[in-house]
């Protein structure tokens, strides 16, 4: 099986940053502190997050659980630096990331974290293989991409094999089932060898059996490859597949959740 810790497309010059998990001294990979976020609708302020705090331990699988509308996706956007909080901080491997430069935030999103979503967000005109190669393409200039294209292709093929999708390598999303599309999205999320995977309702659009297969794959990535995973879900039964549940209610964490599995 492929070891995501070894990325053949990473040149020696950028190998030091982002490819090895460098936890803060206490083993925290991501720290969320006092996050506040409101939206404005017709000049009325709608508070969504009202001071959210939690830590994600390196190597753990944590679920963020809460009712629909409780602010889970908003929180994921802030953890991914896709949006900025009104107040509070997000730190990755001990350093503030929420207020980092645009360049640092691009690096964080492209290399240090991976993301998957309920509706996969694959590019419809590309095959599974091409979709998986997209992160290598967008993080490099053309000549740099052409130089690593062959190794990137090999890595993409290995990742497709790891997620059980070799038979769909040259298929487009319209020719794939929901579970297959999510597997392709997982392979794409791993392409640049992230240390943290953020998953927003990864089984939300799948029947329970297919969803179970995706959960098993995420568990395997955590157990065998030590990938740190934050999984967002509104479903307690799914949330319980993680090591720990963090519960969000009315914009606050109401339960930090004891780790109910021993973190390996
Ligand atoms: P969840 O993912 O838990 O279902 P969200 O974070 O998507 O919750 O949304 C939380 C609340 O914020 C909801 O009431 C939603 O309508 C509102 N909201 C989310 N995104 C926006 C936005 N871009 N503009 C205005 N309101 C938003
Ligand atoms: Mg959501």
Q: Place 230 in a pLDDT band, splitting at 50, 70 and 90.
A: very high
pLDDT tens digits, one per residue of 184-222? 999 999 999 999 999 999 999 999 999 999 999 999 999
**Residues facing 228 on adjacent strands:** 196
DSSP state for residue 28 in the 8-state scheme? E
Q: Are strands 244-249 and 61-65 parallel, antiparallel or unpaired?
A: parallel
pLDDT tens digits, one per residue of 164-185? 999 999 999 999 999 999 999 9
Q: Which ligand has an atom closest to residue 35 CA?
A: 1
Taking the CA of residue 66 as reference, the ligand 1 atom at the shortest distance is 3
What spacing in Å lies between the alpha carbon of 126 and ligand 1's midpoint? 30
Q: Which ligand has an atom closest to residue 248 CA?
A: 1
Q: How many domains does the chain have?
A: 1
Residue 87 lies in a domain: yes
CA distances from 253 to 74, 80, 249 (A): 14, 19, 6
**Residues facing 89 on adjacent strands:** 33
Residue 132 lies in a domain: no
**CB of 70 sitting under 6 A from ligand 1:** yes
| pLDDT for residue 169 | 98
- Please give the average per-residue pLDDT across 94-121, as a whole number: 96
Q: What are the residues whose beta carbon lies below 5 Å from ligand 2 (ion)?
A: 72-73
Residue 231 lies in a domain: yes
Taking the CA of residue 200 as reference, the ligand 1 atom at the shortest distance is 2
CA angle 147, 114, 52 (to 5 degrees): 150
Q: Tell me how far apart the alpha carbons of residues 170 and 127 are, in angstroms, rounded to a whole number.
A: 5
CATH of the domain at 106: 3.40.50.300
| pLDDT for residue 9 | 47
Q: Tell me how far apart the alpha carbons of residues 208 and 206 are, in angstroms, rounded to a whole number.
A: 6
CA distances from 223 to 61, 158, 184, 202, 216 (A): 9, 19, 20, 18, 10
Residue 56 lies in a domain: yes
Residue 228 lies in a domain: yes
- Please give the average per-residue pLDDT across 18-23, as a whole number: 46
Tokens representing 14 are 């950028």
pLDDT tens digits, one per residue of 110-153? 999 999 999 999 999 999 999 999 999 888 888 888 999 999 99
The phi and psi torsions of 197 (rounded to 5 degrees) equal -110, 125
Calculate the average pLDDT of the chain. 89
| pLDDT for residue 24 | 58
- Predicted model pTM: 0.90
Query: Domain residues for 221?
Result: 26-124+193-262
- Report the run of H or E that residue 228 belongs to, with start and end: strand 228-233
Q: Is the pLDDT of residue 225 over 80?
A: yes
**CB of 74 sitting under 6 A from ligand 1:** yes
Q: Is the pLDDT of residue 158 over 60?
A: yes
231 closest CA partner among 212, 244, 250: 244
């Amino acid at each position: 099986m492929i070891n995501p810790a070894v990325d053949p497309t990473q040149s020696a010059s950028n190998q030091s940053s982002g490819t090895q998990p460098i936890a803060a001294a206490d083993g925290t990979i991501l720290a969320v502190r006092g996050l506040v976020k409101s939206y404005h609708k017709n000049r009325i302020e709608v508070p969504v997050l009202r001071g959210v705090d939690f830590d994600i331990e390196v190597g753990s699988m944590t679920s963020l659980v809460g009712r629909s509308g409780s602010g889970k996706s908003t929180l994921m956007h802030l953890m991914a630096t896709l949006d900025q909080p009104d107040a509070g901080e997000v730190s990755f491997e001990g350093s503030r990331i929420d207020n980092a430069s645009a360049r640092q935030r691009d690096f964080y999103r492209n290399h240090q974290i991976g993301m998957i979503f309920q509706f996969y967000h694959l590019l419809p005109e590309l095959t599974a293989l091409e979709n998986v190669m997209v992160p290598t393409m967008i993080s490099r200039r053309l000549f740099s991409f052409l130089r690593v294209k062959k190794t990137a292709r090999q890595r993409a093929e290995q990742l497709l094999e790891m997620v059980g999708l070799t038979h769909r390598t040259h298929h487009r999303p319209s020719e794939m089932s929901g579970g297959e599309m999510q597997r392709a999205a997982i392979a794409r999320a791993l392409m640049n060898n992230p240390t943290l995977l953020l998953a927003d309702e990864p089984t939300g659009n799948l029947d329970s059996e297919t969803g179970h297969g995706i959960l098993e794959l995420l568990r395997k990535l955590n157990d065998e490859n030590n990938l740190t995973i934050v999984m967002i879900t509104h479903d307690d039964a799914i949330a319980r597949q993680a090591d720990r549940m963090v519960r969000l209610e009315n914009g606050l964490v109401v339960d930090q959740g004891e780790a109910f599995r021993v973190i390996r």
